[in-house]
Amino acid sequence: MLSESVKDCIRALVYLALNEDKKYLSVKEIASNLNLPFFFLAKNIQKLVKDDILESYRGPKGGITFKKPLEQIKIIDIVKSIDGDHLFRKCILGFEECSDENPCAIHRKWVPERERIKNMFSCNLKEIVEEVKSGKNIKL
């Protein structure tokens, strides 16, 4: 469903959002706190920087931070940036040209679900952070 890369990035961004007060957070710190492989995370984070979700700063005291308010960053943006948008767009049987006019055998069942998934991933980081802050036993 989601690639390892995306899972790591979502966790990293939730962690980052919980520490929004600090100006920049180093990828190293995030990786070590979430127990993620540093090089792998760093590479994936780069894509988010390119796609204007994060902004980075080199040097000591450097690191990453959000480029826009948490309310404007949706989980789906992270997924699209790393994995692309095929999950929210493509036929579940893999047909390139599957559509309402020319459906595959499962099209009518799948499309509504796909829309719901898209909708679920459209929640923003602010929402999630609020839930994490207020909830109990929530792991990052």
Contact residues: DNA, CB under 7 A: 3-5, 8, 26-28, 37, 39-40, 42-43, 45-46, 49-50, 56-64
In contact, 78 and 66? CB cutoff 8 Å = no
Does 79 contact its own copies by CB under 8 A? no
CB atoms within 10 A of CB 110: 17
The CA distance from 36 to 79, in Å, is: 18
Q: What's CA 69's distance to the chain center, in Å?
A: 15
Number of residues that bind its own copies (CB under 8 A): 37
The CA distance from 100 to 3, in Å, is: 28
Q: Which of 75, 76, 78, 82 touches its own copies (CB under 8 A)?
A: 75
Cα distances (angstroms) measured from residue 36 to each of 32, 40, 71: 6, 8, 26
CB of residue 123 to its own copies, shortest distance in Å: 7
> Within 10-69, which residues bind its own copies (CB under 8 A)?
10-11, 14
Residues near its own copies (CB under 8 A) = 1-2, 4, 7, 10-11, 14, 75, 87, 92-95, 98, 101-110, 113, 116-117, 120, 123, 128, 131-132, 135, 137-140
